[in-house]
Chains A and B, each alone.
Chain A
Amino acid sequence: MTAPSPGRAAHPAALALARRHRLRAWEPIPWVLAVAFYFAFPRHLGFGTELLITVLFAISLDLILGYAGIVTLGHAAFFGAGAYTVGMLAKHGIWTEPITGLILAALIAAAVGLGSGLVLLRTRGLTLLMLTLCTMALLEEAANLGHAYTGGFDGLDSLPIAPLFGVFDFNPLYPRTQYLYVLAALFLCFAFVRTLVYSPFGQSLTGIRENMLRMHAVGAPVRTRLVVCYTISAAIAGVAGGIWAQANAYVNLGTLGLDRAATVLIILVLGGHGRLYGAFIGAVAYMVLSHFLSKIYPTAWQLGLGLLLVVIALFARNGILGIGEAASRVLGRR
């Protein structure tokens, strides 16, 4: 390593760049809270598990939407691909071991991502939006058609999932194992994504989002980068889907639906996209609100959600974290 001249290294911009990836003091907080939740609310671990899976799914979307700037309405395609991989392997008694099952789910989802990404990412704008939507609809329809393998409209239930490490059972009524298992998977995937976005590869993704033409001009392999990013994101979404199928012991067409794709988009944007932790904030805000409101007034919840989206699109384009950042800037200036 050659040390840069001290004058340049001490420049604030150089320091900011060099320290960008360092762990900030507040970064362990979400993880501490997640572990605390396990001990504080043993009766709500089912909800907690669902929440953590949603965070994982939203992080996978953040990678392509927030960092690479690919607007997709079909991200649930990969969630569903992972969920159906786990579901079909378990239901037909081929493979029930959870961890390797997740790896398989990630591989299948990545294959779907690579295959569709290679062709879809040649297009942009409305066409890309349409193609992601159609790909997801295609998979949903295929899953609906293949009754014999996928259970069709009813899906597959009571999936036999082998105990974790051969010891810890997945009990749907007391989802203790599921919660810790999902938390561990989320932590690993998050660490991976965090490393990725601060790497030169992640930098080039941000460059592509900000100005694709200029990235072409400086000789970056734009399409390859996008396809690789899309594939990685698909794999993580596949892990989220697979783990969802394992934790709930069932899989249905809803895992592939527009509802799920729209919800994860809303969650990410609500929290703030392109910010890593936006997925946490958005998922907590959305899930807690929907958990309490949708049970009491389902219609009011939809109305509120609609209003929230309109307000975010018009006034708070960077979500809750964006509001926080703006507030801290204003306070810092004083």
Chain B
Amino acid sequence: MIFGTDLAGMLLGGVAAGMVLFIVSVGLSVTMGLMGFVNLAHGGFAMLGGYAIVLAMKHWGFGFLPALAFGFVATAAVSVAFERLLYARLYRAAELDQVLFTIGLVFIMIASVTVLIGPENQPLPLPAMLQGQVDLGVTRYRTYSVVLIGIGVAIVLGLWLGVERTRMGAQIRAAVDNRRMAESLGINIDRLFTVTFALGSGMAALGGGLGAEFLGLDPQYPLKYLVYFLIVVAVGGLGRVTGVFYAALLIGVLDFALKKYLPQGGTLFIYALTILLLLWRPQGLFGGKAT
């Protein structure tokens, strides 16, 4: 019985962490799949959004949900400006230039946040409703993690329906599979990309805010978790919403379990597994075609 509770707790904690990873990484996966753009600054948008959400709640008296909506919209708007003014110039550029440009962007974001807000960690002020524990029948668990899982499931369902059932979703799938062909059919890839980039950054903002509970939120955030976001995307496959979902859950649970039972060498296993997996399937575990 104790083992059962342990297992349930581990699964819940891991799944909640996985949800945050998913919410942050899904935009990265879709934009990389669409344009092949190596966007190392994606975590930066998650950080900016996280700060917008936390500051809105702490200083401007926003409620939890309005703050989330504000973070989403503000980050999406900022990211569109970045995309149109800067990213768009580098779509046809070499990978190296994209890497340098986005690393530079990360540095700028880190320095600006440090100067404007300060280097300290910003805790997320949870509303009273989400604090404490909730009885789930098998086990009692932190309410916030359970809510997080609910939000994650709602988002993945929404995204899945959006990608599978809407016109824009079909265009995204077409463009990920074969960009040239999609362009020949009259799909406006540039506009499609701007919209997905904005949505993806907005999602990252939500993830940055929602995940501030256990990932923390400080100016070093985009560099600290860069490898994790990239691993999720690489394992899930570029441009695959469901693939990224499974990969995020897998890595969330694995990371949580390893940190608990192997607090020393946990991350070592994740890196090693990722390397082996990418050698076996360079297109990712759930990716379709070889890239």
Residues of chain A whose beta carbon lies under 8 Å from any beta carbon of chain B: 65, 71, 73, 119, 122-123, 125-127, 129-131, 133-135, 137-138, 141-142, 145, 258, 262, 265-266, 269, 273, 299-300, 302-303, 305-310, 312-314, 317
**Contact partners of A308 in chain B: CB under 8 A:** 104
Tell me whether B104 and A310 are in contact (CB under 8 A).
yes
Q: Are the CB atoms of A299 and B271 closer together than 8 Å?
A: no
Q: Which residue of A lies closest to B112 (CB)?
A: A303
Question: Could you say which of A123, A134, A262, A273 contacts B231, with CB atoms under 8 Å apart?
Answer: A134
Tally of A-B Cβ pairs under 8 angstroms: 124
A141 touching B265 by the CB < 8 A rule? Answer: yes
Chain B at the A interface: SS class? helix
**Which residues of A sit under 8 angstroms from B231, Cβ to Cβ?**
130, 134
Q: Which residue of A lies closest to B96 (CB)?
A: A71
> Chain A at the B interface: mostly helix, strand, loop or mixed?
helix
* Given known A-B contacts A137-B227, A141-B267, A313 and B115 have beta carbons under 8 A apart: no
A305 to B107, Cβ gap below 8 A? yes
Contact B265 A145 (CB under 8 A): yes
Given the contacts A133-B227, A134-B227, A309 and B103 also touching, CB distance less than 8 Å: yes
Quick check: is B133 within 8 A (CB to CB) of the other chain?
no
Q: Are A131 and B101 in contact (CB under 8 A)?
A: no
**Residues of chain A with a CB closer than 8 A to B167's CB:** none
- What is the CA–CA distance of A139 and B48 in the complex, to the nearest angstrom? 31
Across the two chains, which residue of chain A brings its CB closest to B268?
A141
Across-interface contacts of A302 in B (CB, < 8 A): 107, 110-111, 114
Q: Specify the chain A residue showing the minimal Cβ separation from B274.
A: A134
A residues near B275, Cβ cutoff 8 Å: 131, 134-135, 138
Given A299-B114, A303-B112, A313 and B101 contact (CB-CB distance below 8 Å): yes
Q: How far is the CB of B272 from chain A (nearest CB, A)?
A: 6
When the two chains form their complex, are residues A309 and B112 in contact, meaning their CB atoms are under 8 A apart?
Answer: no
Q: Are A309 and B278 in contact (CB under 8 A)?
A: no
Total number of B residues with any Cβ neighbor in A under 8 Å: 47
Instruction: Tell me if B101 and A309 are in contact (CB < 8 A).
Output: yes
Neighbour of A306 across the interface among B108, B230, B272, CB < 8 A = B108
The distance in angstroms between the C-alpha atoms of A133 and B93, with both chains bound, is 21
- Are A126 and B104 neighbours in the complex by a CB distance under 8 Å? no
Cβ of A33 to closest chain B Cβ, rounded Å: 27
Is the CB–CB distance between B99 and A71 below 8 Å?
yes
A125 touches B95 (CB 8 A): yes
Q: Is the CB of B271 within 8 A of A129?
A: no
Nearest B residue to A258 via CB reads B223
A-B contact pairs, 16 of them (CB 8 A): A123-B282, A126-B38, A127-B291, A129-B38, A129-B95, A133-B227, A133-B230, A138-B275, A266-B103, A299-B114, A302-B114, A306-B110, A306-B111, A310-B104, A313-B93, A313-B98
Could you say which residues of chain B place their CB within 8 Å of the CB of A125? Answer: 36, 95, 291
- How far, in angstroms, from A143 to B234 measured CA to CA in the complex? 25
- Which chain B residue has the least Cβ–Cβ distance from A259? B223
Q: Mark B214-240, 1 if CB is under 8 A from A, else 0.
A: 000000000100110011001000100
Q: CB of B156 within 8 A of chain A?
A: no
Interface residues of B in 171-229 (CB under 8 A from A): 223, 226-227
Instruction: Check B108–A303 contact: CB distance below 8 A.
Output: yes
Provide the residues of chain B in CB contact with A130, threshold 8 Å.
Answer: 230-231, 234, 274, 278
Nearest B residue to A152, CB-CB: B264
